[in-house]
Structure formats: C-alpha cells, structure tokens
Amino acid sequence: MAEACFWVGRYIERAEDVARILDVNYHGVIENTAPDADPTWWSILATTGDVSEFDRRYPHPTQRSVTEFLALDRENRNSVVSCVTAARENARRIRDRISSETWEELNRFYHLVTRETIERVVRDGPYAFCRTVKNGSHLLAGVIDNTMPHDEGWHFVRAGRFLERAGMTARILDSQAALLTPAVSADHAAIHRWIAVLKSASAYEAHRKGHRGSIAPEGVVTFLLLAPEFPRSALASITEVESALLAVRGLLGLPGAGRASHEAGALAARLRYTQVDTSLMGGLHQFLDELELACNHVGDAIAGEFFWGRTPLRRGA
C-alpha cells in the first residue's frame, strides 16, 4: 500500500511537470527557431532528462516528434500518458485504501489524456493539452487532500509528490546552467530563457512579486532552490518530504527519525545553509547534479525503509 501511494504522488507530479516544461519551452522554440529540426529542440528533452531515450527511437528532434515523445508516447515511461497510466495502475492496487472520489478523478484524468491524438495536439499546439494535464493534477491533489484520511497512505502520496518536485526543480535549473558564463548571462535571449525557467516551475509571478528588478540568474537560482515560502522550491519540497516521513513513523509507532527522514532532513538542512554566491554560481551544474543525486538517495532510503528493500525507478534509469 505504501509503495503504491508513493508512486501515485510521484507519477502525477511528473506528468504535471513534463506538461509544464513542454508547454513553456515549446513556444520558446517555435518563436526562435526557423528550421524544423534544430538543436534547440534538444533543450526540451535535456530539461526532462530523456535525451538518450529519444535518441534511441527517433531520428531527429522536431516539433512533432518531441511533442509526441513527451506527451503521448506510451513507450516513453516519462511521457504524460505513461505517468498518468502508471498512477492509475498503482491506484487500482489500493482502491480499498483511497477514497472513491480520488479513484473517480484519477480515472477521469486518465481518459482525458489517453483520448488525445498527436495529430490534434500538433494541429492545435500543446497549450490546451498541457493545461488539461496541469488542471487535472491540481484537481486530483485537492481531491486527495480533502477526501482521504490523513493517515500513512496520504503522507506517502505527499512524500512522492514533493520528492519528484524537488528533483525536477533541480533539473529545470540545470538545463540553463550553461547560460551563466559572463559573456551570455546578461544576453537578451538568455534572460528570456531564465523567464522560461521560472514559468516552467510556475514561479514567474511569485518571483516578480518579490523581485521588482530585472531577471537575474542569481535571483532565479536562489528563489527556485531556497525560497521556503514558495511550494515548488527545492527547499520547500524537501521540507515537505521530511515532514511526511516523520508523520508516517509517528503513525506507525516507530521511534525517532529513520534513515529516510534523516536523509531528507540532512538535505533540507544543507539547503537552508546554502548561499547563492559567485562560487556556487560558478559550479552550479555540479551543485545541481549533487542535489539530484541526494534526491535519489532519499528515494532509495524510502524504498529500503518502507518498501521491503525495493529501489524505486529513477528518471533516466
């Protein structure tokens, strides 16, 4: 039960994140790219971490192929359709442990995304499809929070959702780490890419409210990594994971913090005491790689502590 709940949370969050990345970056590529096949299409795949899988099965990154791969390709286990399908299958295993409203909403969400065709998505652009996915994810999260008892199952959904979110925030930032050289960091096109990074994490408006000046890489990195008040920042997400795991142990009558909550707490503490200075910005790619690895370690610890030693599948594995 615990593992299925955890993966319902992770897969629904992953579907939403992929949809948001596809929507934001798709329009940026369309507006700035003339040829049908262009290296900039790789930027969308690099953000989701699926370049090798795409390259194995598709000859060139084009508008149609990238959209199909990320939105509707059932062989790509990180596509929107695959993630929603996997969430539904995990929920099917625990139908007696989730509310009927949760199952009905997830089932409705599944049918909404699986009935789409690549022809229609390409013809209309991905905006409508991606909006459906984001709205479906938000609605499902609300239904889960308001109809499921806040027992260990609900906390495992939380842990999965926020662990996936923390890793994806790091990946979104890492996709733009190359723009930090002095020669290009203030370039007009680079600034637009950093705006796209904020929008990919639904952070643009929240960032602008707190930073009235121009978009600066250091400000974007600080906000997405360390803002405790922003629910999609890495720090806020990992803090939620730690809270969920400690709550699970309390509900199960287990004393103290286990390995998983210890790993999450150590990562949260590291982020709280991180300063985004010249040194970190110069080694941002390495820092973000280490953050993603630390998220994987938290996932491994959760599997080892609660899922009978099974290791959860990682993105790109």
Domain ranges of the chain: 1-148, 150-317
Residue 66 has pLDDT above 60, yes or no: yes
Q: What is the pLDDT of residue 315?
A: 54
The residues, ordered by sequence, that sit 6+ positions from 197 with a Cβ below 8 Å of its Cβ are 172, 173, 175, 176, 220, 224
Give the pLDDT score at 31: 56
| Residue 174: per-residue pLDDT | 87
Whether the per-residue pLDDT at 33 is higher than 80: the answer is: no
**What percentage of the chain carries pLDDT values higher than 90?**
66
**Whether residue 177 has pLDDT greater than 90:** no
Query: Percent of the chain scored above 70 by pLDDT?
Result: 88
Cα distance between the two ends of the chain: 24
Average pLDDT, rounded, for the chain: 88
pLDDT at 81: 98
Contact 219, 185 (CB under 8 A): no
CA angle 316, 170, 78 (to 5 degrees): 30
Task: pLDDT band for 197, please (50, 70, 90 cuts).
Answer: confident
Q: Is the pLDDT of residue 179 over 60?
A: no
Q: pLDDT tens across 214-239, in order? A: 788 899 999 999 999 999 999 999 99
User: Between 121 and 125, whose confidence is greater?
Assistant: 121
Can you read off the two tokens belonging to residue 197?
């990074």
Residues whose CB falls within 8 Å of the CB of residue 176, separated by 6 or more in sequence, listed in order: 193, 194, 197, 217
For the range 24-29, what are the long-range contacts, defined as Cβ-Cβ under 8 Å and sequence gap of 24 or more?
24/196, 24/199, 24/200, 25/196, 25/200, 26/63, 26/66, 26/67, 26/125, 26/126, 27/125, 27/127, 28/192, 28/193, 28/196, 29/63
* Banded pLDDT at 110 (limits 50, 70, 90): very high
Per-residue confidence at 178, pLDDT binned at 50, 70, 90?
low
237-287 residue pLDDT tens? 999 999 999 999 999 998 888 999 999 999 999 999 999 999 999 899 999
Q: What pLDDT does 303 receive?
A: 94
Please tell me the distance from the alpha carbon of residue 132 to that of residue 128, in angstroms, as a whole number.
Answer: 6
> H or E segment at 184?
none
Is residue 37 predicted with pLDDT exceeding 50?
no
What is the token pair recorded at 302? 């959760």
Whether the pLDDT of residue 106 is over 80: the answer is: yes
Distance CA 244, CA 160 (A): 9
Q: DSSP alpha helices (H): ranges in 115-233? A: 118-124, 127-147, 152-174, 188-200, 204-210, 217-226
